[in-house]
């Protein structure tokens, strides 16, 4: 991992990504090993080595708008196999953070799910799965998807109807206040 | 009696209920006393680290600070939570500005599989095996986060790990060699891109059947949910079109003759009872 080695300098999109992720992607020589081992590459609109190339070309909007950054499952296969030790999985995290902050719209439902997940933690400290699913379905309006599977799991005692109480509400609230203010950066 | 702090995480109180029950069950038989972390909250999971780096550090650290009040190691069965704790330790060190006050990472956080694979627990386990899993062929499925990133997990053989294989062999099972041990199942994409998860999971399931396994064994709540529930339409392999998926703690409970093993296994969507009964193990 090269996170410590990166030297952030202002200006280009490349420099912005290096600074945000702490990963120096300038060493990429396009061997495509990241894309060859990526399990979700067939669902990507821009394959991993091309994401790096587009960053180097300064294509900010194109990269932050692409579906690939959300389809990435954070499996870290690319990072462990990179011959230049580029932690690309971490770069993908940084690109997602930048995309969310920049307000660039994406066609994927994935960030909508993440928002529902975080709202769930903010509300009750823990994620109550049934509430999360309902929260997400209210946003996507796809109520019947996996309904049969949900019933099977309910019958087997895997779905709790009510969330649990918890302590630590104030601390969790403070963490989310800081997140929403963007105060930590 | 070994005293440890137990962080269950959200899934173990819901869809991974049998992982919680079997983890508690085998811990008790192995003389491990579990103290559930008081006032624990969510680790933030995928959604936090996909949204904001500071949030992804602050949420796990809130739990680690509570764990520090006790002089005990903290055992985490959910490997997704474990991974977030290890990442948060590193993140807190590299970016103290993410936190309201400094955090020194004094508590030892351990993944349940690693915990049961350490020398002392292996010795304890050897003495407790009453029903060896003789004749059962298992495909050990580690998934991503039990091994990657190796800087955080400390697993040296991250392309072909063998520690779960050794544990299953100790229980009397035969761990089959196969090449999908650490391939990704798609994890939390199941809610949003079910198509990707079905595709990845069914490839893993097919390969386990092709390798001749009677069942898959895993220690990840997301892998288990995806592999256990996404078998509809699975390509038939050698006359089979389904393969049960067990938590490694359930396999341990089975070999140790835990009387509640049947109850845990009854919670699975893909029924493991028939396969195990045919082998005379249940």
Domain parsing of chain B, residue ranges: 2-115, 129-278
Average of per-residue pLDDT across B215-240: 92
For an interface test with B, which of A103, A122, A146, A158 has the most B Cβ atoms less than 10 Å from its Cβ? A158
The pLDDT score that the predictor gives to residue A6 is 47
Q: Are B182 and B143 in contact (CB under 8 A)?
A: yes
B271 touches chain A (CB under 8 A): no
The Cα–Cα gap between A101 and B43 comes to 22
Higher pLDDT, A106 or A2: A106
Average of per-residue pLDDT across B132-136: 98
Say if residue A137's pLDDT is above 90.
Answer: no
Q: What is the tens place of the pLDDT at every residue in A14-39? A: 999 999 999 999 999 999 999 999 99
Angstroms from A57 CA to nearest CA on chain B: 24
Query: Per-residue confidence at A158, pLDDT binned at 50, 70, 90?
Result: confident
Residue among B62, B148, B184 whose CB faces A80 most closely: B148
Say if residue A5's pLDDT is above 60.
Answer: no
Say if residue B225's pLDDT is above 60.
Answer: yes
Average of per-residue pLDDT across A63-77: 96
Map residue A151 onto helix, strand or coil. helix
CA triple B46-B138-B218, angle to 5 deg: 15
A129 touches chain B (CB under 8 A): yes
Beta strands in B142-239 (DSSP E): 174-175, 215-218
Which residues in chain B are contacts of A157 at CB distance < 8 A? 17, 267
Query: Per-residue confidence at A165, pLDDT binned at 50, 70, 90?
Result: low
Say if residue A3's pLDDT is above 60.
Answer: no
CATH fold for the domain made of B129-278: Rossmann fold (3.40.50)
Say if residue A4's pLDDT is above 70.
Answer: no
Average of per-residue pLDDT across A43-70: 97
Q: Are B9 and B66 in contact (CB under 8 A)?
A: no
Q: How many CB atoms lie within 10 A of CB A147?
A: 10
Q: How is residue B240 annotated by DSSP? A: B
- % of chain A at pLDDT higher than 90: 63
Which residues in chain B are contacts of A102 at CB distance < 8 A? none
Closest-CA residue of B relative to A124 is: B41
The pLDDT score that the predictor gives to residue A163 is 83
B17 backbone dihedrals φ, ψ, rounded to 5°: -55, -40
Q: Which two tokens stand for residue A169?
A: 């509400």
CA triple B149-A68-A138, angle to 5 deg: 100
Find the range with the poorest average confidence among A30-39, A89-98, A164-173, B123-132: A164-173
Which residues in chain A are contacts of B227 at CB distance < 8 A? none
Mean pLDDT of chain B: 96
- Domains in chain A, ordered, with CATH? 13-102 (1.10.1060.10), 110-181 (no CATH)
A173 touches chain B (CB under 8 A): no
Say if residue B206's pLDDT is above 80.
Answer: yes
Name the strand (E) or helix (H) holding B265: helix B261-265
Q: What is the tens place of the pLDDT at every residue in A75-118? A: 999 999 999 999 999 999 999 999 999 988 777 789 999 999 99
Say if residue A182's pLDDT is above 60.
Answer: yes
Alpha helices of A8-67 — where are they, by DSSP H? Answer: 13-21, 33-37, 48-56, 60-65
With both helix axes pointing from N to C terminus, report the angle between B163-170 and B248-255 in degrees, rounded to the nearest 10: 20
The pLDDT score that the predictor gives to residue A2 is 45
ipTM metric:
0.93
The pLDDT score that the predictor gives to residue A1 is 43
Residue among B15, B42, B49 whose CB faces A121 most closely: B42
The Cα–Cα gap between B209 and B212 comes to 5
Q: What is the tens place of the pLDDT at every residue in B14-60? A: 999 999 999 999 999 999 999 999 999 999 999 999 999 999 999 99
CATH fold for the domain made of B2-115: Glutathione S-transferase Yfyf (Class Pi); Chain A, domain 2 (1.20.1050)
Query: Per-residue confidence at A167, pLDDT binned at 50, 70, 90?
Result: low
Q: What is the tens place of the pLDDT at every residue in B145-161? A: 999 999 999 999 999 99
- A90 closest CA partner among A58, A51, A119, A117: A51
Say if residue A185's pLDDT is above 70.
Answer: no
Say if residue B169's pLDDT is above 70.
Answer: yes
- % of chain A at pLDDT higher than 70: 91
Q: Which residue reads 């895993």 in tokens? A: B218
């Amino acid at each position: 991992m090269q996170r410590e080695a990166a030297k952030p300098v202002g200006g280009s999109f490349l420099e912005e990504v290096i600074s945000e992720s702490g990963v120096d992607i300038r060493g990429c020589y396009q061997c495509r090993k990241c894309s060859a081992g990526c399990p979700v590459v067939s669902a990507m609109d821009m394959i991993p080595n091309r994401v790096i190339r587009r960053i180097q070309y300064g294509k900010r909007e194109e990269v932050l708008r692409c579906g690939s950054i959300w389809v990435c499952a954070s499996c870290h296969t690319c990072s462990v196999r990179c011959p230049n030790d580029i932690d690309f999985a971490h770069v993908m995290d940084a690109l997602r953070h930048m995309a969310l902050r920049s307000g660039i719209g994406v066609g994927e439902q994935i960030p909508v799910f993440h928002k529902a997940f975080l709202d769930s933690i903010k509300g009750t400290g823990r994620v109550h799965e049934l509430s999360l699913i309902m929260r997400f379905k209210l946003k996507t309006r796809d109520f019947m998807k996996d309904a049969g599977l949900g019933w099977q799991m309910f019958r087997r005692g895997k779905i709790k109807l009510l969330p649990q109480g918890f302590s630590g509400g104030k601390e969790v609230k403070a963490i989310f206040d800081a997140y929403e203010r963007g105060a930590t950066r | 009696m070994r005293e440890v702090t137990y962080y269950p995480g959200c899934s173990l109180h819901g869809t991974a209920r049998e992982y919680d029950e079997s983890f508690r069950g085998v811990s008790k038989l192995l003389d491990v006393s579990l103290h559930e972390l008081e006032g624990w909250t969510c680790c933030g999971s995928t959604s936090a680290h996909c949204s904001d780096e500071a949030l992804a550090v602050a949420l796990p650290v809130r739990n680690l600070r509570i764990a520090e009040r006790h002089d005990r190691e903290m055992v985490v069965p959910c490997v997704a939570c474990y991974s977030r704790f290890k990442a948060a330790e590193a993140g807190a060190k590299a970016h103290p500005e993410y936190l309201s006050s400094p955090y020194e990472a004094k508590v030892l956080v351990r993944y349940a599989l690693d915990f049961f694979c350490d020398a002392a627990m292996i010795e304890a386990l050897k003495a407790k095996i009453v029903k060896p899993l003789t004749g059962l062929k298992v495909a050990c499925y580690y998934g991503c986060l039990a091994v990657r990133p190796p800087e955080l997990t400390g697993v040296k053989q991250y392309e072909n790990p063998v520690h779960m294989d050794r544990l299953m062999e100790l229980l009397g099972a035969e761990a089959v060699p196969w090449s999908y041990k650490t391939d990704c199942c798609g994890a939390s994409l199941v809610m949003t891109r079910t198509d990707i998860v079905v595709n990845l999971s069914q490839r893993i399931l097919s390969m386990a059947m092709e390798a001749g396994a009677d069942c898959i064994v895993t220690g990840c709540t997301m892998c288990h949910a995806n592999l256990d529930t996404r078998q509809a339409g699975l390509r038939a392999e050698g006359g089979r079109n389904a393969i049960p998926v067990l938590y490694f703690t359930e396999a341990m409970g089975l070999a140790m003759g835990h009387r509640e093993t049947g109850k845990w296994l009854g919670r699975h969507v893909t029924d493991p009872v028939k396969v195990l009964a045919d082998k005379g193990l249940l």
